[in-house]
Chain A
Amino acid sequence: MSAAAPLLEVKGVTLQYRVGNVAVTATYRVDFNVEQSDRFVILGASGCGKSSLLKAVGGYLKPTEGSIKIGGRAINHPGADRMMVFQEFDQLLPWKTVRQNIVFPLLATRKLNAREADDKAMHYINLAGLERVAESYPHMLSGGQKQRVAIVRGMAMEPEILLMDEPFAALDALTRQRMQDELLALWDASRFTVLFVTHSISEAVKIGSRILLLSPHPGQVRAELNSLPRPQDPVASVALQDKIHQLLFPGEETAQS
């Protein structure tokens, strides 16, 4: 741990939704810090408020209690320093080609001029092996390709942190595995900081460098663990997954797969 302030500091964050007249608590006094180049995974069953937590970091949701700071600055609204990757396939702008989809945020935020944005987009398109679909419209892509574009679009912005909300959950199992490997390969290439939300224990162990476990109703921190160094030993991986399962579902038999 460095002595300097963490990149992302989440301190005592309580999130509440208003449903009719009732305030539903999504998370209760959650603390965690994300450091530079972390692959930080928030893991929990549905209803633990992990997506709400990510949306709060994204600036879409105001905490009723506690604070969220990025680089020491409080988060008040959505911003391009925190690029989101959503679960839904419709997150790409359907009226723009793959290349235009990646160029657009670079221009809209006045980060780069048109030529630089184009060069940057092509660099990342090549990095992700999307050359063949660069001029295609999103509706011509498969689900996996769409998510790949969404990730690349986020990476090309070179944000301080990339926020991913179960980006692989809607993919088939084979594609999901490939996308996880590709995400790790992309991380190896540029070591970006990523905050990744998932409900899959195996995905958390595979993707994460550090894993935050949330217990549900309302979401509270159960544990914060280090994941395994890569390449991961399969036996150690299964052991860690069992340990996480025990922590999340105490008293239950370990699921053997």
Chain B
Amino acid sequence: MTQTFGRPEVFCEPQATDRLLVVAQKPSLLAAAYNLSWLRKTVLLIVLAAIWQIYATWLDNDLLFPTFSATIEALVDGVVSGVIPARVVVSLKVLFMGLGVGIVLATLLTAIAFRTRIGTDLLETLTAMFNPLPAIALLPLALIWFGLGVGGVVFVLVHSVIWAVSLNAHSGFNSVSNTLKMVGRNYELRGFAFFRQILIPAAFPSILAGLKIAWAFSWRTLIAAELVFGVSSSSGGLGWFIFESKNRLDIASVFAGLLTIIIIGLIIENVFFKVVEARTIRKWGMLA
């Protein structure tokens, strides 16, 4: 004890902080370039395209595997002639109809599930039954019920959207913290105002996750449905474009159609949802 107290005490004056700033060493140009994720991925894409081109040239069979350059040519031709944009517009129109109807129905279902216990049971039972059912499996039924037009595709799309959205939204609403709900009631918010101003933003991370899944499901389902439905409908979408090109043995256009599907998917997932995420849950620090 006495020894501990006998040790000298130390006092320091804080140093001026501007003198303590250490300037990080500038990385070399190559290292800086390697740090850019988009640049690394672009290089990878170029390498893959080169391998494709070399293999297809060596194979020399346009019916089985057209070259990368032939595919790009077909894509550019399709875009310039207005065929591909027209097909994309048809596809997206149907897609947004399906998404819209699906989201509205999912909102209703979730609202009922949130308010009443029997509604919760209904939602849980329905999602347990229908969520594992692939939308494509409903195509034959849709054909009989709605015919060959847009109605059948929309029906299948609604099925692919509604369960993912309501399941995620429901779990989101249920996990809103009690404190936030009490705060909302303290502000005298009731009914729809409470729902819109407290519950929806508080559950937004889950809702957005549901929308992402819904988008992915519905986009894949749409193309598949079009391959089947487009056969006899006059105005087909992208799926129909692929089917038609195959029948004409224009395999480069088939590849161009596939590429278009990939590009649209990438844009929605990496641009649209990224931007929404950055402006909402990332900005709010609500990223799980």
- Please choose the segment from B51-59, B96-104, B164-172, B182-190 that sits at the chain A interface, where 4 or more of its residues have CB less than 8 A away: B182-190
- For residues 171 through 224 of chain B, which have their beta carbon under 8 Å from a beta carbon of chain A? 177, 179-180, 182-183, 185-189, 193, 197-198, 201-202, 204
Asked if residues B179 and A78 are in contact (CB atoms below 8 Å), the reply is: no
Given known A95-B204, A95-B280, contact A105–B187 (CB-CB < 8 A)? yes
- Find B284's partner among A82, A91, A95, A104 (CB 8 Å cutoff): A95
Asked if residues A88 and B188 are in contact (CB atoms below 8 Å), the reply is: no
User: Which B residues are in CB contact (< 8 Å) with A86?
Assistant: 179, 182-183
Q: Does A140 contact B (CB under 8 A)?
A: yes
A133 shortest CB reach to chain B, Å: 14
Given known A84-B182, A95-B201, contact A109–B187 (CB-CB < 8 A)? yes
Given known A86-B179, A108-B197, contact A94–B284 (CB-CB < 8 A)? yes
Asked if residues A94 and B285 are in contact (CB atoms below 8 Å), the reply is: yes
**Among A83, A95, A104: residue with most chain B CB under 10 A:** A95
A2 shortest CB reach to chain B, Å: 28
Q: Does A72 contact B (CB under 8 A)?
A: no
User: Which B residues are in CB contact (< 8 Å) with A104?
Assistant: 187, 197
User: Which A residues are in CB contact (< 8 Å) with B183?
Assistant: 84, 86, 91, 93
Q: Does B268 contact A (CB under 8 A)?
A: no
User: Which A residues are in CB contact (< 8 Å) with B186?
Assistant: 58, 78-80, 82-84, 105
Query: Quick one: closest A residue to B198, CB to CB?
Result: A93
Asked if residues A90 and B285 are in contact (CB atoms below 8 Å), the reply is: no
Asked if residues A139 and B188 are in contact (CB atoms below 8 Å), the reply is: no
Instruction: Mark B residues whose CB is within 8 Å of A.
Output: 177, 179-180, 182-183, 185-189, 193, 197-198, 201-202, 204, 280, 283-286
B113 shortest CB reach to chain A, Å: 23
Query: Quick one: closest B residue to A89, CB to CB?
Result: B179
- For residues 193 through 252 of chain A, which have their beta carbon under 8 Å from a beta carbon of chain B? none
User: Which A residues are in CB contact (< 8 Å) with B179?
Assistant: 86, 88, 90-91
Q: Does A32 contact B (CB under 8 A)?
A: no
User: Which A residues are in CB contact (< 8 Å) with B188?
Assistant: 78-80, 108-109
B203 shortest CB reach to chain A, Å: 11
Query: Quick one: closest A residue to B193, CB to CB?
Result: A108
Asked if residues A93 and B180 are in contact (CB atoms below 8 Å), the reply is: yes
- For residues 88 through 138 of chain A, which have their beta carbon under 8 Å from a beta carbon of chain B? 88, 90-91, 93-95, 104-105, 108-109, 137-138
Q: Does A60 contact B (CB under 8 A)?
A: yes
Given known A80-B188, A95-B280, A109-B187, contact A60–B285 (CB-CB < 8 A)? no
User: Which A residues are in CB contact (< 8 Å) with B187?
Assistant: 80, 104-105, 108-109
Closest 7 CB pairs of A and B: A139-B285, A78-B185, A95-B201, A108-B187, A94-B284, A88-B179, A105-B187
User: Which A residues are in CB contact (< 8 Å) with B204?
Assistant: 95
Asked if residues B185 and A60 are in contact (CB atoms below 8 Å), the reply is: yes
